[in-house]
Amino acid sequence: MSNLNIGIILGSTRQGRVSPQVGEWVKGIADGRGDASYEIVDIAEYNLPFLGEGTGEEPGLAAWNAKLSSLDGFVFIVQEYNHSITGSLKNAVDSAREAWNDKAAGIVSYGSTGGARAAEHLRGILGELSVADVRVHPTLSLFTDFENYSVFKPADLHLTNVNAMLDQVVAWSGALKSLRA
């Protein structure tokens, strides 16, 4: 196994969210590969203030930055809210800067159209933070990969795409590590 640490970031924080189911599914696939150390990173656990509204001294803010700094790459679990990413994910992204830079990321998204619109918005945001987002992008449908929009039952075909996405995230995370002193 490489010494790469990859965080699987849950992008939603609402009560009743399905992102933990999706994140655990990705982690299960990732852990089976044996090529990096994968962990779930749950924004909700950090109690981040809205940027600029707190004191800047909140422990969760420092912990969030420390967690991101410990990671070499990311897999974002992205859900579509009003054709974009959640406010909580945007705030979490905005709540760090250097800790994102020169790292790689993959996106797994879901929504009525696979979360594609939210994922494309995230790609634009990641560019500003010098995060290299990989091409392969598993898209999950609320209609066919979930029962009652709440119980995650992914179609088998997504397994190939998740592994292909992880291949790219691991390769780029390793390559970009050499850029960071």
Ligand X SMILES: Cc1cc2nc3c(=O)[nH]c(=O)nc-3n(C[C@H](O)[C@H](O)[C@H](O)COP(=O)(O)O)c2cc1C
Cβ closer to ligand X: 119 or 142? 142
Report the residue count for the chain. Answer: 181
Give residues 63-102 in contact with ligand X (rule: CB under 6 A): 79-83
Cβ closer to ligand X: 17 or 103? 17
Q: Which residues are bridge partners to 76 per DSSP?
A: 9, 107
Say what angle helices 87-94 and 116-128 make with each other, to 10 degrees.
Answer: 10
Q: What's the CA gap between 119 and 43, in Å, rounded?
A: 17
Give residues 12-41 in contact with ligand X (rule: CB under 6 A): 12, 14, 17-19
* 121, 11 contact by CB (below 8 A): no
Please, what is the minimum distance in Å from the beta carbon of residue 81 to ligand X?
Answer: 4
CB-neighbour burial class of residue 79 (10 A; exposed 0-12, middle 13-18, buried 19+): buried
Based on the shown chain and the rule CB under 6 A, indicate whether residue 168 belongs to the binding site for ligand X: no
Based on the shown chain and the rule CB under 6 A, indicate whether residue 154 belongs to the binding site for ligand X: no
Give residues 99-138 in contact with ligand X (rule: CB under 6 A): 111-113
Cβ closer to ligand X: 21 or 130? 21
Residues near ligand X, by CB under 6 A: 12, 14, 17-19, 79-83, 111-113, 142
